[in-house]
Amino acid sequence: MSVNQQAHTGPPYGQPQPGYQGYQQPAYGGQSLPGAPQSQYGAYNGPMPGYQQPVPPQGYFPSLGFPSKGSPVSLNSDTSSLAPNFIGPLRAPPTSGAPPPASGASHPSGHVAYSQFEHGDVQNGIPGSAAPMQRPPASQPFLPGSAPTPVSQISTFQQYGPPPASVQQLRNHMAGMTIGCTAASAPPPAGLGYASVPPVSGSCSATGSGLYTPYSASQGPPLTTVSQGLPLAQPPFPGQTISTQRLPTQVPGFTPPPPSTGVGPSSYPPTTGAPRPPAMPGPPLPGQTVAGPPSSQPNHVSSPPPPSTMAGLHPGPPMSGLHGPPPPTHPPQPGYQMQQNGSFGQMRGPQPNYGGAYPGAPNYGTPPGPPPPPKRLDPDSIPSPIQVIEDDRNNRGSEPFVTGVRGQVPPLVTTNFLVKDQGNASPRYIRCTSYNIPCTSDMAKQSQVPLAAVIKPLATLPPEETLPYLVDHGESGPVRCNRCKAYMCPFMQFIEGGRRFQCCFCSCVTEVPPHYFQHLDHTGKRVDFYDRPELSLGSYEFLATVDYCKNNKFPSPPAFIFMIDVSYNAVKSGLVRLICEELKSLLDYLPREGNMEESAIRVGFVTYNKVLHFYNVKSSLAQPQMMVVSDVADMFVPLLDGFLVNVNESRTVIASLLDQIPEMFADTRETETVFAPVIQAGLEALKAAECAGKLFIFHTSLPIAEAPGKLKNRDDRKLINTDKEKTLFQPQTSFYNNLAKDCVAQGCCVDLFLFPNQYLDVATLGVVPYQTGGSIYKYAYFQLETDQYRFLNDLRRDVQKEVGFDAVMRVRTSTGIRATDFFGAFYMSNTTDVEMAGLDCDKTITVEFKHDDKLSEDSGALLQCALLYTSCAGQRRLRIHNLSLNCCTQLADLYRNCETDTLINYLAKYAYRGVLSSPVKTVRDALINQCAQILACYRKNCASPSSAGQLILPECMKLLPVYLNCVLKSDVLQPGPEVTTDDRAYIRQLVTSMDVAETNVFFYPRLLPLTKADVDSDSLPAAIRNSEERLSKGDIYLLENGLNIFVWVGVNVQQGLIQNLFGVSSFSQISNALSTLPVLENPFSKKVRSIVDMLQGQRSRYMKLIIVKQEDKLEMLFKHFLVEDKSLSGGASYVDFLCHMHKEIRQLLS
C-alpha cells in the first residue's frame, strides 16, 4: 500500500491503474487543471445523507487497509511481511474509510501549529501501526512452503547517509526524506532468530539524501509489499487480503479484495453513525501526484476530523500533510515562518481531497492560502487507542475468558467480558505487565520491560460471576507448605498416593494432614479435586483460626467514627447541616455480611474546630451529651460507654444529635482548626474499644491552630521546575508519618473529605489516609447547589463499600523471582508484608518482581497473593489469589504477551513516586528513556531488518507512545498554570492506588459524540480520538476521565438539540453552572442522561459534570484533556511525541 494508493476498484493487480498517467501538477483546492487526468469522483464534501458506506471485505478494518486483528502487520519487512506495528504513511488522501471533515473544517492559513519536538515536518518518516492486539489463533491451516514472494526494490530509494550534524542539516535531511516503503528482499532462512517470531516491523521508510526525489511519470509510485507478518513456519490467516499498488505475484494464501469494495474500509459499522460516500479526491496540490483513493485510514472509523486546533491555542490548520510524493524543496512560501530551532512546527494547510466543510456549513475562517509546507505525519496513520479498544471488544468481548490455561493474556480492561475461574485468578483481581516473563535476569534487563502485577484483592465482581468461596478447615486452619508457608492451591503436586504434597513455590515436600487426605485418580489428581475450591479455583477464601488474630483472640466488629469540622467555613457553606441530614439516612446502609439482618458496625460522632467535642449517644439517654476536650496537646477520649453504639439501639438519640449539631454551631466565629488531634482522638477511641475501624473526617482548612501537627502555608509555585519542586509533594513534618504508623498498628483507617477554599497542604494531610489504606476526596470551593450531589454520592459509596480491616498482604512467588517493590496506599514495616488498616474494593497494590535465579520454560512462574483481613462482621479471613505465568527464552515471546494498559499503570505509579525524591524533569526523562529502551530492544532483537527510517512497534505495545505521552503531560509531571500544588498532591496519591481500568481512562479520557447516539439502543456511541481535530462545531460531545465529565457544545449545534438537552432555546442561554442535566421528557435527554448514569456507575468516584460551550473560558480546561494535541503547559502532541520517541530509539540503536 503506497502513499499514493489507488483504490481496488479498477483492474486487477499488476495492471496499470487509471489516474496515474502523467502525474500532472494540478492547481490547489479541487479545481481541475487543463490536461490533468480527471478523477473519477468529484471533490469530497463530507458525508451526505443517502450514501451508504461500501460494505468492507471480511477481515478488513480501517487501519491502512491492514488485515484485521490477529496478524502482526508490517509494511515491507524482510519476509515481505505485515508487521504489527506499521506507523503509516504521511497523510494520504482520504478514502472511503476516511472520516468526513467536520463542519467548518477548512482553516485560516495564518496560524502556526506549535510543535515541541524539533520541526513540523516528518521526523524520520514514522510509519504506523494498526493491527490490534491478538495472538495468532492456534488453528491456522499450515501450507508448507508458502513463503511470501518478495518484491524487488524500487531503484529510487537510497539508504540513509551519515546522520546530520547540525539542526540545519537535520532539517535539510528531513526535508529530503521520501516517505515510501522499501520492498522486501528474500525471506530469511528459517533458522534465524526472527523466523520463530512474527516479524513485527512495518513502516514507511524515509529515504533520501537531502533533496526530494519526485517520481518521474514513467517510474510510477513506489511499491509496498504488504503481506503476512508471521513466521515462515506459520501460514497466513485465512481470509486476509493484501492491499498493494502492484504486486508482480500474488502472495499465497491471500485473496485480493473484491473489486467493488475500495481499499479496506472498516468492517465495523461507521462509528459516527453517518453514512459516507466513497472518497472523492480532487486534483492534488502543487508538487503532488494525482493519486486515487488511498488505503483506508488506520485505527479510526468515521469520526469527523474537525477543525484542528491544538489544545488551548486558537484554531490552526488541520493536521494534515501532503499526499503522494513530496514536492521538490523550495524556499519558504510567503506567510509561513521559517522554522526556528525546535520552536514552531510549520503550519499545515487544509487537506486536499477534503472539501471545506459539510455542504452549506460556514467556513472556519479564511479561504485557502499559499501551498502547504512539507509533509508531517498524518494523525490518522498512527496507532489509535480507539481502534485497538474497538478491535479487542469485537474479538474478545463475546467469549468468556476461561482462566484454566497458564500465561493467557486477558482481554483489555475496556472490553466487557465474563470470567470463568478454572485455576487462575480473574484479571479483575490481578493483571500483569507481561504474561510471559524472561527466564533470566539478563534478558529482563535487556528488554527493560518491568515485570509487575497490579493486584486488587477485594475487587467487586459483576453479578453474573461467583464471589470467592469461603472454605472452613476448622481449628486446624488452612493447609500450608511447611517451609515457605504458601497456601494450598491448584498448582500443588500430590505424591505418594496423596499422603504428601510438593510445594509449587519452593519444592518442599509436606505431609498431608490426616483430615485432609484423599486418594488420587489415574492422572495424579485428588478425587475431590472439583469439590475443593482451593484445588480447582484461582481465587478463594479461608476462614482464619485464632492463630491469625492479634493477641490470639478473635476481633470485635469494626467501628465507624464520623468527625465533622464545625469551624466558620464549614457551617457557613451549609456543609455541616448537609452532612448531618445525610447521616440520618445513611447509617441504615452500613456494610454487612451477606445474610445478616443488620450491620455489626458500631458508630460514634465527634465535632471539632480548635477543640474537640465528643458525644454520648447511649440508647438509654433521652438526649445526647456533649463532652469537650480542649487540651488538644494530650488527646484522650473522655467517655468509653456510649461513644460507640449500635445504630438501631440508639437511633432516636443519634437523630436528635444530628438535628442539634447544625443549630449548636450556627453562630460560631471560630475559623481555626486542628487536624492531628482529631485522628488521635479516633485512634484512642478504637484502642479503648479494642476494635479496628474507619474515621470519616470532614475538613475545610489548613490546621494552623496551636496543636500537634500544626501546619504553615508553604505553597510556592516558584519551586516548579526547580530541584526543590519535590518538597511540594513531601509532608512538611514527620509527625503524620508516626501517627500513620500508630493507626496501622490499631487497624484505624482514615478517609478524608476535604472542602478547601485555599491551600490546605494535601501532601501533608494526606499522609495518614494514604498510609492507612484510606481515601481522600477533594471538593475545592465547595458550593452547596453545585457540589452537594457529587459529595453525597461519594459519601454514600464510601460508607457502603466492602472494606477489609486490619489487613496484611503477602505475595509469594515460585523460585526464580521475588517481589521487590510495592506501590499503593499502605504501610510497610518490613520488606515483605504490606499492611493496611483498611483495604476497600477499589484499592490496588502494585507489586514489582525481580529475578533472583533462572526460571524454566517448562514450569513457568507462579504468584500467590494472600490477604489476611477482618470482614465488616468481625470475621478473620484469608483471601488467596493464584496466577501462573509462562516463561520464555525468546524476547519475542515476552513482547507478544505484554499488556500496555498495565504497563502504563505501573510506569505512572513509578514516576509519581519518583517525584518525591527527584526533580520532575529527571523523572520525565527516565520514563522516556525506559520506553525508548523497551522499543529499541524489540526493534533490535525481534523485528525484521529494515531501514532505520522506520519506527517499528510491537503489536501489544503500539499504544505505548500515545499513553506514555499522556502520563508525561499529566498535571503531576507537567502542570499547567491553573493547576494548584494541592491538586498535584491529590492526583499523585489518587493514581498510586488506581486500578488499570481507572488509569486507562484517567490518562486517555473517553470522548463520545452524543449527537451520534442511537436513542433507541442501550449502546454508547462509538468513541473518537482525543483531539480537537475530531470535534465538529455542529455536535455535542461528552468527555470523561474518571474524575470529571465534560459536555462540550459546539457553536453550531441545532437549536432543537439544545432545547431537548438543556431546556433552553439557544446556545447563548445554556448555563455553565449546571451540575446535573435537566430531566426532560424527550428521547435525546433520556439517552444522554442514561449515558451519564452508566458512566458514573462504572467509576469509583462520582464525576463532576461540567458544561463547556465552544469558545467559552471553560474550553481551556476541556482542551487540557484532548491529550493527542499539544498542551498549553508544553506537552507534545501525539504526532510530535512519536517523532521524538523514534529519534530516541534510533539514537539507542546507533
pLDDT tens digit sequence for 232-241: 333 333 333 3
* Side chain identity at residue 405, one-letter code: V
Q: Read off φ and ψ for residue 883, nearest 5 degrees.
A: -145, 135
Position of cell 475431590?
Answer: 528
Structural contact between residues 206 and 122, judged by C-beta atoms closer than 8 angstroms? yes
What number is the average pLDDT over the span 61-77? 37
CA angle 993, 996, 1002 (to 5 degrees): 80
What number is the average pLDDT over the span 272-276? 41
pLDDT at residue 1118, rounded to an integer: 95
Listed in sequence order, the residues at least 6 apart from 206 whose beta carbon sits closer than 8 Å to its beta carbon are: 122, 124, 125, 174, 177, 178, 179, 947, 949, 950
Structural contact between residues 931 and 474, judged by C-beta atoms closer than 8 angstroms? no
Cα–Cα nearest to 1131, from 927, 916, 907:
927
Compute the distance between CA of residue 859 and CA of residue 886 in angstroms, rounded to an integer: 8
pLDDT at residue 339, rounded to an integer: 33
Structural contact between residues 991 and 908, judged by C-beta atoms closer than 8 angstroms? yes
Would you place residue 993 in the very low, low, confident or very high pLDDT band (cuts 50, 70, 90)? Answer: very high
Listed in sequence order, the residues at least 6 apart from 1114 whose beta carbon sits closer than 8 Å to its beta carbon are: 1072, 1106, 1107, 1108
Instruction: Give pTM, 2 decimals.
Output: 0.72
Query: Residue 123 pLDDT more than 60?
Result: no
- Kindly give the pairing relationship between strand 748-754 and strand 693-699: parallel
Compute the distance between CA of residue 865 and CA of residue 881 in angstroms, rounded to an integer: 5
Would you place residue 109 in the very low, low, confident or very high pLDDT band (cuts 50, 70, 90)? Answer: very low
Query: Residue 709 pLDDT more than 70?
Result: yes
High-pLDDT (> 90) share of the chain, %: 64
Query: Residue 899 pLDDT more than 70?
Result: yes
pLDDT at residue 595, rounded to an integer: 79
Query: Residue 1059 pLDDT more than 90?
Result: yes
Query: Residue 478 pLDDT more than 80?
Result: yes
* Side chain identity at residue 538, one-letter code: G
* Side chain identity at residue 809, one-letter code: M
Compute the distance between CA of residue 864 and CA of residue 969 in angstroms, rounded to an integer: 35
Query: Residue 252 pLDDT more than 90?
Result: no
What number is the average pLDDT over the span 99-125? 41
Give the best-scoring range by mean pLDDT among 181-190, 717-726, 991-1000: 991-1000
Q: Residues 108, 112, 114, 119: what is their CA dihedral angle, to the nearest 10 degrees?
A: 120
pLDDT at residue 17, rounded to an integer: 42
- Kindly give the pairing relationship between strand 1006-1009 and strand 612-616: unpaired
Q: 3-state SS of 492-559? A: CEEEHHHCEEECCCCCCEEECCHHHCCCECCCCCECCHHHCHHHHCCEEEEECCHHHCHHHCCCCCCE
What number is the average pLDDT over the span 532-536? 97
Give the best-scoring range by mean pLDDT among 37-41, 342-346, 932-936: 932-936
Question: Kind and range of the H or E element at 962?
Answer: helix 960-968
Half-sphere exposure of 608 (CA within 13 A, CB side): 33
Per the document, the length of the chain is 1150
Alpha-carbon torsion 92, 93, 96, 100, what sign?
positive
What number is the average pLDDT over the span 603-611? 97
Q: Is 74 helix (H, G, I), strand (E, B) or coil?
A: strand
Position with higher pLDDT, 768 vs 324? 768
Q: Read off φ and ψ for residue 798, nearest 5 degrees.
A: -65, -40
Compute the distance between CA of residue 319 and CA of residue 303 in angstroms, rounded to an integer: 15
What is the CA 773 to chain-centroid distance, rounded? 23
* Side chain identity at residue 116, one-letter code: Q
Q: Which three cell numbers stand for residue 467?
A: 464471589
As a whole number, the mean pLDDT across the chain is 77
Position of cell 511540594?
Answer: 728
Listed in sequence order, the residues at least 6 apart from 362 whose beta carbon sits closer than 8 Å to its beta carbon are: 103, 104, 1052
Q: Which three cell numbers stand for residue 419?
A: 470470567
Let me know if 891 is exposed, middle or buried by CB neighbors in 10 A (0-12, 13-18, 19+). buried
Would you place residue 275 in the very low, low, confident or very high pLDDT band (cuts 50, 70, 90)? Answer: very low
Q: 3-state SS of 338-355? A: CCCCCCECCCCCCCCCCC
Q: Read off φ and ψ for residue 965, nearest 5 degrees.
A: -60, -35
Phi-psi region for residue 620, left (φ > 0), alpha (ψ -120 to 50) or beta? alpha
**pLDDT per residue as tens digits for the range 1007-1024:** 999 999 999 998 999 999
Phi-psi region for residue 407, left (φ > 0), alpha (ψ -120 to 50) or beta? left
Structural contact between residues 932 and 988, judged by C-beta atoms closer than 8 angstroms? no
Compute the distance between CA of residue 928 and CA of residue 934 in angstroms, rounded to an integer: 10
Compute the distance between CA of residue 1116 and CA of residue 71 in angstroms, rounded to an integer: 41
Listed in sequence order, the residues at least 6 apart from 1065 whose beta carbon sits closer than 8 Å to its beta carbon are: 1055, 1058, 1059
- Kindly give the pairing relationship between strand 861-870 and strand 803-813: antiparallel
What is the CA 391 to chain-centroid distance, rounded? 16
* Side chain identity at residue 817, one-letter code: I
Let me know if 649 is exposed, middle or buried by CB neighbors in 10 A (0-12, 13-18, 19+). middle
Would you place residue 40 in the very low, low, confident or very high pLDDT band (cuts 50, 70, 90)? Answer: very low
* Side chain identity at residue 609, one-letter code: N
Give the best-scoring range by mean pLDDT among 9-23, 276-290, 319-333, 1099-1113: 1099-1113
Among the listed ranges 158-172, 733-747, 1073-1087, which one has the minimum average pLDDT value? 158-172
Alpha-carbon torsion 613, 618, 619, 620, what sign?
negative
Compute the distance between CA of residue 89 and CA of residue 982 in angstroms, rounded to an integer: 43
Listed in sequence order, the residues at least 6 apart from 1088 whose beta carbon sits closer than 8 Å to its beta carbon are: 1010, 1013, 1038, 1047, 1061, 1077
What number is the average pLDDT over the span 493-506? 96
Compute the distance between CA of residue 695 and CA of residue 753 in angstroms, rounded to an integer: 11
Q: Read out DSSP for 196-237?
A: GS-------EEE-SSS--PPPTTT-SPP--EEE-S-TTSPPP
Phi-psi region for residue 118, left (φ > 0), alpha (ψ -120 to 50) or beta? left
pLDDT at residue 1150, rounded to an integer: 86
Half-sphere exposure of 323 (CA within 13 A, CB side): 31
pLDDT at residue 199, rounded to an integer: 37
pLDDT at residue 219, rounded to an integer: 39
Q: Read off φ and ψ for residue 1015, nearest 5 degrees.
A: -65, -15
Half-sphere exposure of 516 (CA within 13 A, CB side): 24
Position of cell 531501514?
Answer: 947
Query: Residue 49 pLDDT more than 60?
Result: no
Helices (H) and strands (E) in the chain, counts: 22, 32
Among the listed ranges 60-69, 237-246, 433-442, which one has the minimum average pLDDT value? 237-246
Compute the distance between CA of residue 735 and CA of residue 818 in angstroms, rounded to an integer: 33
Q: Residues 757, 759, 765, 766: what is their CA dihedral angle, to the nearest 10 degrees?
A: 90
Would you place residue 110 in the very low, low, confident or very high pLDDT band (cuts 50, 70, 90)? Answer: very low
Compute the distance between CA of residue 1027 and CA of residue 319 in angstroms, rounded to an integer: 10
Compute the distance between CA of residue 90 and CA of residue 375 in angstroms, rounded to an integer: 7
Query: Residue 996 pLDDT more than 80?
Result: yes
Position with higher pLDDT, 368 vs 199? 368
What number is the average pLDDT over the span 5-21? 40
- Kindly give the pairing relationship between strand 559-565 and strand 625-629: unpaired
pLDDT at residue 240, rounded to an integer: 32
pLDDT at residue 1009, rounded to an integer: 97
Q: Which three cell numbers stand for residue 404?
A: 484454566
Structural contact between residues 466 and 492, judged by C-beta atoms closer than 8 angstroms? no
pLDDT at residue 941, rounded to an integer: 94
Q: Read off φ and ψ for residue 761, nearest 5 degrees.
A: 60, 60
